[in-house]
Amino acid sequence: MPADVDELIAGLERGERRALARLLTIAEDGRPEQLRQVIGALYPKTGSARVIGITGSPGVGKSTLTNAIATELRTAGRSVAILAVDPSSPFSGGALLGDRVRMQGHHADADVFIRSMASRGHLGGLSFATPQAVLVLDAAGFDDVIVETVGVGQSEVEIAATADTTVVAIAPGMGDGVQAAKAGILEVADVFVINKADHSGAGKLESELRGMLEMGHATADADTPAGWWPSIVRTVAVRGEGLDEVMAAFAAHGRHLNSSGDRERRVRARALHTIREIALEQVRLRFSRLGDGHDPLLDALAAKVAGRELDPYTAADELLEALDGGVA
Amino acid sequence: MPADVDELIAGLERGERRALARLLTIAEDGRPEQLRQVIGALYPKTGSARVIGITGSPGVGKSTLTNAIATELRTAGRSVAILAVDPSSPFSGGALLGDRVRMQGHHADADVFIRSMASRGHLGGLSFATPQAVLVLDAAGFDDVIVETVGVGQSEVEIAATADTTVVAIAPGMGDGVQAAKAGILEVADVFVINKADHSGAGKLESELRGMLEMGHATADADTPAGWWPSIVRTVAVRGEGLDEVMAAFAAHGRHLNSSGDRERRVRARALHTIREIALEQVRLRFSRLGDGHDPLLDALAAKVAGRELDPYTAADELLEALDGGVA
C-alpha cells in the first residue's frame, strides 16, 4: 500500500527520515503517476541544494573519498546527503549491509544521509531515477547532495555533467587516466582527485592527466571562453589527507560558477536533462505497453521481422511513423 | 576510419574473425546510420542461431558456468559465441585481460568466440546494443549464442526474457534465491542452475526455490497453459560437475519449445524487443540532439523549470505535445 503522497511530503517538511526514505523509494520504483504527483508537489521546494557529482572507475577508492568529503562538509557545518548510484549492485535502499558499513564513519551524525540506488525499478533505470532522487533530497533541505556514480556509462557521464561541481576520481596503477578519457569523463571534470596518492605512479598519472588536459584545451576549448581549468588534487582519502585541498577546489569552483554565469547554465542544464529523461520515460512507458501484445501494428511488424521479411530498422521506422501524433 | 560495411559483411561470410570483431564494435558504438546499414544487410542471414541467456548475481560463478557450458556444447560439435554483458565494467572488446583469462579454457578451440560488452557507447546502452550484437553473431553462423548478463537490472531481465532458453544461476550462501525473485528473474528462468552445489546450503536453497516456484505457479500461471516447469540442476561448474544434466535440461526445453509453439513465440518476442529498442533509440537520438541547445522550445522549458515556474513533468508533457507529428 503506497502511503498518501501529501502525508509523505508533510512528513518530509517535518524532517522525518522515514518520509524521506519512502519518497526516495517512489523516485526509484514507484508507479509513474505517483512519481509525477511527488515531483509536482516537491518541485517548488527544490533549487537550494548544491549538487556534487563524484565519479570514477571501480577500485579508485570512490566510496572512501565520498565519505571523507562528506565528513569535511559536515565539519564545515553543512548538511549532507549521499546518493550512491551503482548499476552493478542488486541492492537498493538504505538499510543494507553495504550502507551500514559505510555509515559507521558518520554513525553519530544525523545530518549525513546515505542512500544506495541500484538499477532496478523503472524502465529507464538509473538515468531516469537519479534526477528524481536528487530533487527529493534537494526538497528535503540538504545543503549538499553528493551523487556518487561508477563512471563507466553514458548515463553516468550525463549525470555528472549536470552537477554543480563534478569530481572525477582516478588512482595510480589502474590505467584510469586513459580509461577516463575514453569514457568522455575528462570533459566533465571540474575537479580531478588523484586518490591513493601515496601509491607509486601518482606523479606519472598527474603528468599524464595534465598532458591530456593541455591537448584537450588546445583543440576543443573554443566553445567555453569563460573557461575553468580543472583543479587537480592529490588525496589519500583513507587517511583523510588532501581533503583541505579538495574543499579549497570546491570553493574556487563555486566562485567561478558565480562570477562566470556558469551556475545558471548548470542549473538550466540539469533542468533540461530532467525534462528530457522524463519525456523519454513517457515514451518508454508507451512502448512498453505496446509490447504487452496489445498493439496490432507492433505484433504484425514483429511477425514480419521474425519471418525475416523485414529488417528491424525498417520495422522501427514504420512503428514510429504510425505513432506520429500520439507519442505522449 | 570506419571500414566499408559491404566489405566487412563479405569478410564475415568468409569467416574472418577481424570482420566479426569490427561489426560487433559497430553494434556497440558505431554511428547510428552505419549500424542501420549493418543490420539491414545482415538481417536476412540471421535466424538460425540458438540464443541462450545466462544470468545471475555477482559471485554465483556465472563466468565459470558459462565457460563450462560452452565446452560441453563444443564437445557436442556445436560452434559457440559468448557475449558477456557487464554494465559495471569499463572494458569492452575482445582483447582485454578479462577475456584472455577466460579464453584459456578454450585456447586451442577456434570455434568459441568471446566478446565482452560494457555500458559505453550508444545512448541506449546495453539494452540497445545487445540485441544488435546478437544479430551479428547469429549472422556469423554460430550454432549457439550465449548472452551472459549480470542479472540485476530491468534491461537484463528483458534480454534474458527474449532468449530461446534462459538459465538463471544461483548459489548457496548469498541470499540469491530471494534477490532473484525480487528482480523478476524467477519468471524468466527456463532452467535454474544451483552452482557451487558442494557448498553447504545448496539443499536449503533448492527447497526455498521449489517453494517459491510452487507459490508462483499457484497464482500466476493462468496465462501460460502450455506451461514449462523450470528445470532445477545442481552444478559445480569449476569442476565440470552437473554439466550433463544442464545439457539434458537444454534438450528437454528445446523439445518443449518445438512441441508447444513456444519457440515461435520466443522468436517473435525477440523481434518485438529489437524493434522496440531501435525505435526507442531513434527517439533518444532525437531528444539528445534537442539537448544540444538547438531547440528553442526545450531551452525555454528548461529556463522555466530552472526558475521553478514549471515542474519538469509538466514541461515534459509540453515537449512531447510539441513533438507530436515528428518523433521519428
Cβ <8 Å between A39 and B312: yes
Decide if B157 is inside a domain: yes
Identify whether A161 is part of a domain: yes
In a domain, A31, yes or no: no
Q: Is the CB of A46 less than 8 angstroms away from the CB of B308?
A: yes
- What angle (nearest 5°) sits at the alpha carbon of residue A93, between those of residues B58 and A120? 55
- The answer to whether residue A116 neighbours chain B at the CB level (below 8 Å) is no
The pLDDT of residue A155 = 57
Is position A81 within any domain?
Answer: yes
**DSSP code for B93:** B
Residue B212: inside a domain, yes or no?
A: yes
Question: Which of A125, A267, A324 lies nearest to residue B325, judging by beta carbons?
Answer: A324
What pLDDT score does B100 carry? 39
Position B57 pLDDT exceeds 80? no
Nearest to A299 by CA among B264, B163, B280: B264
Mean residue pLDDT across chain B = 81
Sign, Cα dihedral of A191, A196, A202, A208: negative
Bridge partners for A167 per DSSP: A54, A191
Percentage above 70 pLDDT, chain B: 76
At residue A107 the predicted structure's pLDDT band, cuts being 50, 70 and 90, is very low
CATH at A172? 3.40.50.300
CB contact under 8 A, B153 and A119: yes
* pLDDT score for B78: 93
B14-33: per-residue pLDDT in tens? 999 899 999 999 998 778 88
| Number of domains forming the structure of chain A | 1
What pLDDT was estimated at residue A3? 62
Helix locations, A232-311, DSSP H: 243-260, 262-289, 296-306
- pLDDT band, very low/low/confident/very high, at A127 (cuts 50, 70, 90): confident
Q: Looking at the DSSP assignment, which residues form a beta bridge with residue A83? A: A115, A147
- Provide the residue range defining the domain that includes B246: 45-259
List, as ranges, residues 254-273 from B with C-beta within 8 Å of A: 264, 267-273
Q: Which residue of B has its CA nearest to A320?
A: B328
pLDDT of B97 > 70? The answer is no
**pLDDT(B315) > 90:** yes
Contact B268 A302 (CB under 8 A): yes
Question: Crossing angle, helix B154-161 and helix B125-139, to 10 degrees?
Answer: 20
Nearest to B302 among A39, A87, A272 (CB): A272
Our CA-based measurement puts residue B94 at a distance from the nearest CA of chain A, in whole angstroms, of: 16
A290 pLDDT band, cuts 50/70/90, is: confident
Tell whether A295 is covered by a domain.
Answer: no
Q: Is the pLDDT of residue A154 over 70?
A: no
- Identify the pLDDT of residue A98: 39
pTM: 0.73
Mean pLDDT, rounded, for A8-20: 93
Nearest chain A CA: its distance from B266 CA (Å):
9
Q: What does the DSSP 8-state code read for residue B79?
A: -
Backbone angles phi, psi at A196, to 5 degrees: 55, 40
Q: Cell digits for B183?
A: 528482480
- Residue from A257, A293, A296 nearest A50 by CA: A257
- Residue A26 pLDDT more than 70? yes
Find the closest chain A residue to B314 by CA distance. A40
Query: Hey, which residues does B233 pair with through a beta bridge?
Result: B193
Q: What residues of chain A, 225 to 244, have a C-beta less than 8 Å from chain B?
A: none
| Minimal C-alpha gap between A109 and chain B (Å) | 31
The three cell numbers of residue B56 are 545471475
Instruction: Calculate how close chain B gets to A268, using CA atoms only, in Å.
Output: 5
Task: Pick left, alpha or beta for residue B121 (phi over 0 → left; psi -120 to 50 → alpha; otherwise beta).
Answer: left
For residues A92 and A258, the model is more confident at A258
Residue for cell digits 515461435?
Answer: B264
User: Would you place residue A103 in the very low, low, confident or very high pLDDT band (cuts 50, 70, 90)?
Assistant: very low
Q: Which of A290-294, B83-87, B97-101, B203-207 has the lowest mean pLDDT?
A: B97-101
In a domain, B12, yes or no: no
Per-residue pLDDT of B144-180, as tens digits, reads: 999 998 765 555 666 666 799 999 898 887 654 555 5
Rounded to the nearest 10 degrees, how much is the dihedral formed by the CA atoms of B249, B218, B182, A5?
A: 160
> Does the beta carbon of A305 lie under 8 angstroms from any beta carbon of chain B?
yes
Q: Cβ of B179 and A90 within 8 Å?
A: yes
Measure in Å the smallest separation between the Cα of B319 and chain A Cα atoms: 7
Distances (CA, A) of A164 to A80, A256, B88, B120, B298: 15, 11, 25, 24, 20
Which of B276, B286, B308, B310 should be substituted to probe chain A, the one whose Cβ sees the most A Cβ atoms within 10 Å? Answer: B276
What is the CA angle A86-A92-A95, rounded to 5?
Answer: 125
Q: Please give, rounded to a whole number of angstroms, the shortest distance from the CA of A315 to a CA of chain B.
A: 6
Could you tell me which of A256, A53, A38 has the C-alpha nearest to residue A161?
A: A53
One DSSP character per residue, A39-89 reads: HHHHGGG-S-SEEEEEEE-TTS-HHHHHHHHHHHHHHTT--EEEEEEETT-
Which residues of A are less than 8 Å from B120 in CB distance? Answer: 152-154, 182-183
Q: Which is higher by pLDDT, A274 or B236?
A: B236
Interacting residues of A229 by C-beta distance below 8 A, sequence separation 6+ = A213, A217
Give the pLDDT band of residue A6 (cuts 50, 70, 90): very high
Q: Which of A44-53, B93-102, B149-158 has the highest mean pLDDT?
A: A44-53
A179/B90 Cβ within 8 A = yes
B276 touches chain A (CB under 8 A): yes
Band of pLDDT at residue A198, cut at 50, 70 and 90? very high
Does an H or E element contain A179, and which? helix A176-182
In this model, does residue B90 exceed pLDDT 60? no
Nearest-CB residue to A118 (from B152, B299, B312): B152
For the CA atoms of B302, B306, B309, B313, what is the dihedral angle to 10 degrees? 60
Q: Do A152 and B90 touch (CB under 8 A)?
A: yes
More confident residue, B234 or B156: B234
Cα–Cα distance measured from residue B191 to residue B209, given in angstroms and rounded to the nearest whole number = 12
Instruction: Give me the pLDDT at residue A90, please.
Output: 43
What does chain B come to in residues?
A: 328
CB–CB contact A39 B282 (8 Å): no
Q: Which of A35, A265, A311 to mutate to test the interface with B (most CBs of B within 10 A)?
A: A311
Testing the interface with B: which of A96, A275, A288 to mutate, by most B Cβ within 10 A?
A275
- Chain B residues with CB under 8 Å of A314 CB are 40
Sheet holding B80-86, edge to edge: B112-118, B80-86, B144-150, B50-56, B165-170, B191-194, B231-234
| A28, part of any domain | no
- Say yes or no for a CB contact (<8 Å) between A87 and B88: yes
In this complex, the residue of A89, A154, A302 whose CB is nearest that of residue B271 is: A302
What distance in Å separates the CA atoms of residue A179 and residue A198, rounded to the nearest whole number? 21
Interfacial A residues in 51-90 facing B (CB < 8 Å): 57-58, 86-90
Q: What residue in B sits closest to A46 (Cα-Cα)?
A: B308
DSSP helix/strand/coil, A231: strand
Confirm or reject contact between A312 and chain B (CB < 8 A): yes
Q: Which residue of A has its CA nearest to B288?
A: A276
Q: How far apart are CA B231 and CA B168, in angstroms?
A: 10
What 3 state SS string does A81-141 have? EEEEEECCCCCCECCCHHHHHHHHHHCCCCCEEEEEEECCCCCCHHHHHHHHHHHHHHHCC
Q: Which residues of A touch B119 (CB under 8 A)?
A: 87, 152-155
Give the residue from chain A lying closest to B33, CA to CA: A313
Q: Give residue-wise pLDDT tens across range B194-222.
A: 999 999 989 998 998 888 888 766 554 44
**Quick one: pLDDT band at residue B247, thresholds 50, 70, 90?**
very high
- Between residues A32 and B152, the one the model is more confident about: A32
On the question of pLDDT at B3 being above 70, the answer is: no
